Structure 1
């Protein structure tokens, strides 16, 4: 069954859930755009980095990102990406989150997404396709969000500080020197971080490092090299941070063992 890979062909159809498979080469960039429908972005392979006005979301394999209707976003592919997208009509998305959220894809949810790709785009009432769509919507309402969001501030001075951090994630620049460079006191900078991002300075930097780590690990870079690149004293220290943030080790998170030097990644 041949399906369109043009997102516009899925926006005004009658069915509440429409499934579109599309593959992208490494490094592909989809510029800022929006859809009438909500969008569940899921990749069976590769990592996606999605940016909106509210921040950046990292979406590794076996995770998905919910994007509400009419949310402007852009997508960067890290590695070759096999994207499987669900477009959900606004009326069917009323009970789904109003903000972007990364979610865990359970075996059942994964099976439902892939099964939806096999059904006609405009499935008839009472069909298997309709039953799959209903169960998908039911499952999505109950899935908890994962901490893979890097909120970006709107305050100009804090934006410059954040960009400086992002361009030198391997350095442990202290808050005093960053504040001085922005013409702020360290106390004012700390208040701005909390007000604009909902996170403290150290937590935001760690989240930025985690996002970069996911990108590098998805490309097969060994844990030991990722740890060194991001300024961790040892692979063990990096793995401890990763486990604390995501509840498991890098190799288990990606479902495959990586060469990590002296530890089990």
Structure 2
């Protein structure tokens, strides 16, 4: 449809500072860990994209995007069908862009700009309409003043194993004491390790893990009742209350355009 390459390598050494690629990805599509010479704005107009880096995991619904700086290793997985519209940007030409992974809000204007950019030739006229569109697009890339769907990665082996199980089984309603016993730690030691590594409590980290799992499942089209049951909530209403408190909207409205 867009008549442009779907090979990311074709966008790394282009003659312009900004290059946009369109690629439609199926549900549960996995892109192994890789990096780019350019920075990348990871964005999909539907479904969700999970981006994993050495620093953590981000879940990207259609109202948000994640900025991945140059040469940062990252992997991606889709939940639901994802029409991906991604930008590759030469940060030498745009040094004001963030130097670490950052969540960005995708306004209706930015959504349309990214979609239009995907149709623009790689070697566009910088002084013409296409060049002005790309300049406006860069101007619209600002960090989001929202709670990011980000889950930090543990550094220690003990927490890595425990956190991996929470991610794999988000509906497991064990207490802190039960998790501590499973990890062969005291409850106090486990609580301190979470605070030291993540700057938050065990309960806060686990809730964030459940939020990410919830957004992924909702992006796949699962019902609220199914998501609530999978995550161990007593009822869909209890899950909806948690979701609204954490993200400002009930799940029924979360994937609507802002």
Q: TM-score, normalising length from structure 2?
A: 0.94
Residues 100-155 of structure 1: per-residue CA shift (max 9 Å, x gap): 12222101111111111122212122111211121111111354354200111011
Query: What aligned pairs does 1:66-77 form with structure 2 within 5 A after superposition?
Result: 66-77=67-78
Give the deviation of 1:92 after TM superposition: 3.4
State the Cα distance separating 1:176 from its structure 2 match: 1.4
Deviates more, 1:130-139 or 1:147-156: 130-139
Three-state SS of the structure 2 residue aligned to 1:14 is coil
How big is the shift at 1:228?
Answer: 1.4
Return the offset for 1:210: 0.7
Question: Who is 1:29 aligned against?
Answer: 30
C-alpha distance after superposition, 1:163-200 (max 9, x if no partner): 12122211211111212222222222112112222321
**What is the CA–CA distance in structure 1 between the aligned matches of 2:145 and 2:94, rounded to whole Å?**
16
Corresponding position of 2:119: 118
Who is 1:176 aligned against?
177
What does the per-residue CA deviation read over 1:51-78, in whole Å, with 9 as the maximum and x for residues that have no partner?
A: 1111111111222111111110001111
1:144/1:122 CA distance change after superposition, 3 Å: farther
Between the aligned partners of 2:23 and 2:169, the Cα distance in structure 1 is 34
Change (3 A) 1:142 1:50: closer
243-252 or 175-184: bigger deviation: 175-184
- 1:217 corresponds to which residue? 218
Instruction: Tell me by how many angstroms 1:93 deviates.
Output: 4.2
Per-residue deviation, residues 188-237 of structure 1 (Å, max 9, x unmatched): 21121122223210011001111111111112211112111111121111
Please give the residue correspondences for 1:1-265 in structure 2 after superposition, counting only pairs within 5 Å: 2-141=3-142, 143-144=144-145, 146-255=147-256
**CA RMSD for the aligned pairs?**
1.6
For the 8 Å contact 1:40–1:86, the answer to whether it is kept is: yes
**Greater RCO between the two (CA within 8 Å, min separation 6)?**
2
* Contact kept? 2:105, 2:142, Cα under 8 Å: no
Q: Distance in 2 between matches of 1:164 and 1:31?
A: 21
Cα 1:142–1:78, aligned 2, differ >3 Å: closer, same or farther? closer
CA distance in 2, matches of 1:141, 1:229: 35
Runs of at least 4 residues of structure 1 off by over 6 A?
none
Query: Equivalents in 2 of 1:144, 1:121: separation in Å?
Result: 31
Partners of 2:31 and 2:75 within 8 A in 1: yes
